[in-house]
Amino acid sequence: MKKINILSLAVLLASGLATTAQATQELRLLTWGGYAPKEVVELFEKETGIKVKVTKSNNEEMISKLKATRGAGFDLVQPSQDRVASAQKAFKIYKPMDLSKIDSSQFIDSMLAATKGQSTVDGEVYAVPHVWGSSGLIVNRAIAADIKDYTDLCKPAYAGKVTYRLKRPTLIGFAFAMGEDPFAAYGDADKYKQIMEKVGKKLTECKANVKAYWSGGDALLSLMRSGETTAAMAWDAGGWKLNRDNADITFVAPTSGALGWIDTFVLPRKTKNEAAAYQWINFVMRPDIAAKITASAGNFTASKGSDDFVDAKAKAQYQESFSAKDIDNIKWYPPVPAGLEKIEGKILDRIKAS
């Protein structure tokens, strides 16, 4: 009888220790503001028993923290897709993804493929996509319905009625609309310079159409709201914000492709709770959960079908701006090689001075 009691006690103690260990599990998440809202964290903790410690950051700080610790201190981080391969090659701060532990059926196929491709180093994939956004066209369709691509901003009918920035996204967007592929030329400085010269000439010719080169979001919104401009090159979120006040104005995905960024999921090299990291990824990529992150962050995620779970207005705006073909046609920013910014700077200075 005494032996049975001792055995029972041992089983109870082991069970208690296991329960305590599970209860004290922690996922240390280094992410952007809005990507881990309180509601989502609480739902995850209730479902898994894993506590989530959220540290908000940005690309530069994420890389700096991991570089200083050689990949320690966090279990999951969220750098942008153009900050993964380059940082891994330079500092070796990340750990390859085990894609068999990720439910790939929850991801938009083209976004998953693009992120895997851009984050592959020595045959290993280091990232999968999460939150994304794009720039393209904001158009008052009641006045300028024929503007479908970046170069349409230069049509004579819109003299003095368009606005865009004198920044590299404008150069890149116009290059694609002119039939070039500037990203494919990133490895060839001479070819890239040739493309930028061509784009610079086009933008110089287009100056008569520019009411103002906007430099801040408020200025852009004011120009479109007031009717001073009827079309712009800008972010999708800005177009949807304007659409809430004026149904004629909205974001339009250019026919040559919107320009996109993706904030990813990446494992630090010295993650201590890799299993919890994969659980978090699979949890937040569920369409119903992803919609909560969209509501918090203001941007959509790479979760397939999550637009069906956002509020009716946001769903309508998204589906009107992006068809499945438009999504697959997004041009995702790769890392910028050294030297290209100097080429772009000279072109932009020349346009400004013309």
CB atoms within 10 A of CB 90: 10
Q: With bands split at pLDDT 50, 70 and 90, how would you rate the model's confidence at 23?
A: very low
Is 176 found in the same domain as 36?
no
Q: Which residue, among 302, 323, 74, 342, has the nearest Cα to 189 in the 3D structure? A: 342
Is 14 found in the same domain as 91?
yes
Kindly provide the residue ranges of all beta strands, DSSP E only, lying in the chain, ordered along the sequence: 26-31, 51-56, 76-77, 94-95, 120-121, 124-125, 128-140, 162-164, 210-213, 231-235, 249-252, 259-265, 267-268, 331-332
pTM (whole model) above 0.85? yes
Pairing of strands 331-332, 259-265: parallel
Contact 188, 343 (CB under 8 A): no
329 within domain boundaries: no
270: containing domain? 2-132+262-317
Say if residue 28 is exposed, middle or buried (CB neighbours under 10 Å; 0-12, 13-18, 19+): buried
226 within domain boundaries: yes
Is 94 found in the same domain as 198?
no
CATH number, domain with residue 138: 3.40.190.10
Is 339 found in the same domain as 228?
yes
pLDDT score at 20: 40
Is 112 found in the same domain as 24?
yes
Q: Per-residue pLDDT averaged across 236-253, rounded?
A: 97
Is 139 found in the same domain as 126?
no
Is 60 found in the same domain as 17?
yes
**Residue position matching structure tokens 């894993």:** 50
Is 248 found in the same domain as 174?
yes
Measuring CA to CA, how many Å separate 164 from each of 108, 206, 210? 30, 11, 8
322 within domain boundaries: no
Is pLDDT at 286 greater than 60 in this prediction? yes
Tally the domains of the chain.
Answer: 2
Alpha-carbon distance of 265 to 84, in angstroms, equals 10
Q: Considering Cα of 259, then 265, then 266, then 268, what sign does the dihedral take?
A: positive
242 within domain boundaries: yes
3-state secondary structure of 184: coil
Is 190 found in the same domain as 113?
no
pLDDT, one tens digit per residue, over 336-353 is 998 999 999 999 999 999
Q: Considering Cα of 100, then 101, then 103, then 108, what sign does the dihedral take?
A: negative
138 within domain boundaries: yes
Mean pLDDT of the chain: 93
Q: What angle do CA 34, 38, 40 make, to 5 degrees?
A: 85
Alpha-carbon distance of 31 to 77, in angstroms, equals 6
326 within domain boundaries: no
Alpha-carbon distance of 64 to 106, in angstroms, equals 31
pLDDT, one tens digit per residue, over 40-55 is 999 999 999 999 999 9
Alpha-carbon distance of 233 to 167, in angstroms, equals 11
Give every CB contact of residue 128 below 8 A, 6+ residues apart in sequence.
97, 99, 102, 107, 112, 115, 116, 264, 265, 281, 302
Is 311 found in the same domain as 343?
no
91 within domain boundaries: yes
Q: Which residue, among 59, 77, 82, 33, has the nearest Cα to 261 in the 3D structure? A: 82
pLDDT, one tens digit per residue, over 297-335 is 999 999 999 999 999 999 999 999 999 999 999 999 999
Is 193 found in the same domain as 298?
no
324 within domain boundaries: no
Is 83 found in the same domain as 41?
yes
pLDDT score at 13: 43
Q: What value does the CA radius of gyration of the chain take, rounded to a whole number of Å? A: 24
How is residue 326 annotated by DSSP? H
Pairing of strands 162-164, 124-125: unpaired
pLDDT score at 5: 52
pLDDT score at 114: 96
